[in-house]
Structure 1
Amino acid sequence: MASERMTVSTLGGANVFEANSFEEWQERMSNRFVRLQVSTNRPENFHALLHGRSFDDISLSRIESDAHQVDRLQDFICQGESKYFKLSMLLGGAGLVVQDGREAVLGPGDIAIYDTSRPYSAVFEDGAESLVMVFPQEALSVSSEGVAALTATTLSRGSSMGRLIGPFLGELAANLDGFSGHAGIMLAHNTLDLINTLIYTELGLGAKRADHKADSLAEVKEYIERNLGSPGLGPAAIAAAHFMSTRRLHYLFEGAGTTVTSWIKSRRLERCRLDLLDPALGSATITQIAMRWGFLDSAHFSRTFKAAFGATPSEYRRIH
């Protein structure tokens, strides 16, 4: 069986997988993140190598492979399953990403993003090497509707943000085996923050957003992210800052399947969780961390945190 020939090892905390046949690669990749169809025109003597790391719900992989294609078919997409974005940066060789009627031809240094909740195809030529980052859609401040304007496009290397992020991702891929523990978690989330900034920049440079509603929601989420530490952050203040009614504000979030209050709470909890994992904040009290992100009642914060993560803040910090 192919699974008996697979070479899987651990190096510096990374999972290293080497496939010496296409059957091995097909078996490994078909369900690594979401269900995929994997194919090649030359299955004989196929070889591929994958270094993979996972930090919380963010996955990073450096992939080197012979020519192959992956397809996310409509029949593979199930209602209610988790939705992810995939971001690929080509490190070497050539590739192609197809989604939403667009094609992005990728060369070394090019970046493309695609959505696992809709069909897509990715094609890689012989010798292609890439960094693939997979993360939940809700991890971005930009709505999925907003990101839809950028799927299967080559994110600009000519912009100042593209010139900054490209080399960073290249260094990250080259040193993927060297990060672990708290430092790895922080690095993964910092990388996601940079990706978020890149997407905002690309949209702001003139890419058409899906519609005005998605545009407004993205701006509101960005405002919330910048003001999470303010105790007065709430629907009325947010609506006033954006010159809209609270009814309009609630309507924006209804379309995203959540509420304003729930979104604020989830983002504050996530910031608190990351602070609890940060060794540099080891001397900060639970109350200080809670107040830093807008929680004024320690007891309420503790109950809310436990409901979200299954442990009180102090227990979570001790365990992790």
Structure 2
Amino acid sequence: MAEQIMETVTIGGANVFEATTFAQWEQRMSNRFVRLQLSTNRPDDFHAVLHGRSYDEISLSRIEADAHQVDRLQDFICAGEARYFKFSLILAGAGLVVQDGREAVLGPGDMTLYDTSRPYSSFFEDGTESLVMVFPQEALSLSGENAARVTARPLSSDYGTGRLVEPFLRGLAASLDAPCGSGGIMLAHNALDLVNTLIHTELGGTTWRPDARLDAVAEVQAFIERNLATGDLTPARIAAAHYMSTRRLHYLFEGVGTTVTSWIKARRLDRCRRDLADPALAAATITQVAQRWGFTDPAHFSRVFRAAYGTSPSEYRRAC
């Protein structure tokens, strides 16, 4: 018999949903705004709570959940469907958002923007609590080119405009249960205005300003993606292919908050994860999958895979 969703209740002005198994959470969330694929390593020992509220076309959700992953797959994206941005603030715990070849590693107080009209993945650790704001793309005054530059970028609350925006959003997350009427609508639109200001401030700053440095990083990342299966994908080889010194290469990646080797490892691990979940590759051994993407030492691969995803490659494959 199919498992039934727990009933949504209303507390104050917010709809509250609690899931005690992953099947309940998956059914509730997989089509909440756009079609999503959810996964976890502990489907039978899972707990999550969502407080949700909508103001006009702005949706706010405070989510506390056990460890899980959310994927917006290319196959799920249909021409003509509504296009949304999602803006997330980590209230507690830690998460990761991946889109457009970038990874935003997020801790308490960190924020990021992602686009539902293109594939993305998000990962959340046990006990992570977040505020997620969903709104139509036209509500944010960004060109398509600039939107692609800011997705999956960590926005810190430690400095600049983020220091002003984060406390307001945190307070809003804490008060979703309180009935606000027209005042709630105004607060939601104020929050959106603040997000708009934050994004444009960051676009105008030195970190994200479109320049030759960002173009060079994008070109190198594309080269890495094309050559992930190559065994000798070293910083020296990458630098030589782009007629630059290794020192210049490392400098470029410092500007996007990572290192060359970390980027290569993360992208290779993601390819291995996808292959392990692919039924068409079920006959391939874990060692073969690892070697295909440049991991020559099975023991080392197992360690880094567990560190990245919280489970061994064999356990991950069995769970898929």
Q: TM-score scaled to structure 1, two decimals?
A: 0.64
Cα shift at 1:210: 6.6
C-alpha change, 1:197 and 1:44, in structure 2 (3 Å) is: same
Partner residue in 1 for 2:87: 87
- Structure 2 residue runs of 5 or longer lacking an equivalent are 212-320
Change (3 A) 1:202 1:2: farther
Residue 148 of structure 1: how far off its partner (Å): 1.5
Classify the secondary structure of the residue corresponding to 1:148: helix
1:179/1:124 CA distance change after superposition, 3 Å: same
- SS of residue in 2 equivalent to 1:131: strand
User: Could you tell me how far 1:44 is from its partner in structure 2?
Assistant: 1.8
* Deviation at residue 206 of structure 1 after TM alignment: 2.2
Letter in 2 for 1:40: T
Q: 2:173: which partner in 1?
A: 173
The residue that corresponds to 2:197 in the other structure is: 197
Give a deviation string over 1:202-225, Cα, whole Å, max 9, x none.
0111244679xxxxxxxxxxxxxx
| 1:50 paired to 2:50 | yes
Paired position in structure 2 for 1:11: 11
Deviations 1:127-170 (A, max 9, x none): 00000000000001222321221111101323321101111111
State the partner residue of 2:75: 75
Alignment check: 8 A CA contact 1:52 1:60 kept: yes
Q: Secondary structure at the match of 1:195?
A: helix
- TM-score, with length taken from structure 2: 0.64
Figure out how many residues of one structure are paired with residues of the other and give that number. 212
Q: What amino acid is the match of 2:135? A: F
* Whole-angstrom distance in 1 between the partners of 2:33 and 2:5: 22
Q: Is the CA contact 2:51–2:61 (under 8 Å) kept in the aligned structure 1?
A: yes
Over the aligned positions, Cα root-mean-square deviation in angstroms equals 1.7
Secondary structure, aligned partner of 2:166: helix
Q: Distance in 2 between matches of 1:207 and 1:118?
A: 23
1:304-315 to 2 correspondences below 5 Å = none
Task: Provide structure 1 residue ranges, at least 5 long, that are not aligned to the other structure.
Answer: 212-320
**Partner residue, 2:316:** none
Amino acid at match of 1:42: R
CA distance in 2, matches of 1:41, 1:118: 25
How far apart, CA to CA, are the structure 2 residues paired with 1:63 and 1:158?
23
The verdict on how the C-alpha distance between 1:5 and 1:136 changes in structure 2, with shifts beyond 3 A counting, is: closer
Contact preservation (8 Å) 1:50, 1:62: yes
Within a 5 Å distance, the mapping from 1:210-289 to structure 2 comes to none
| Aligned-partner Cα distance in 1 for 2:144–2:179 | 29
Partners of 1:87 and 1:62 in 2: CA distance: 12
Aligned partner of residue 85 in structure 1, secondary structure: strand
In structure 2, distance between residues paired with 1:79 and 1:50: 29
**Structure 2 vs 1, CA of residues 66 and 31 (structure 1 numbering), >3 Å: closer, same or farther?**
same
CA distance in 1, matches of 2:153, 2:140: 18
- TM-superposed CA distance for 1:2, in Å, is 5.4
- The CA deviation at 1:3 is 5.7
In structure 2, what is the Cα distance between the partners aligned to 1:195 and 1:3?
A: 38
Contact 2:85–2:115 at 8 Å: present in 1 too? yes
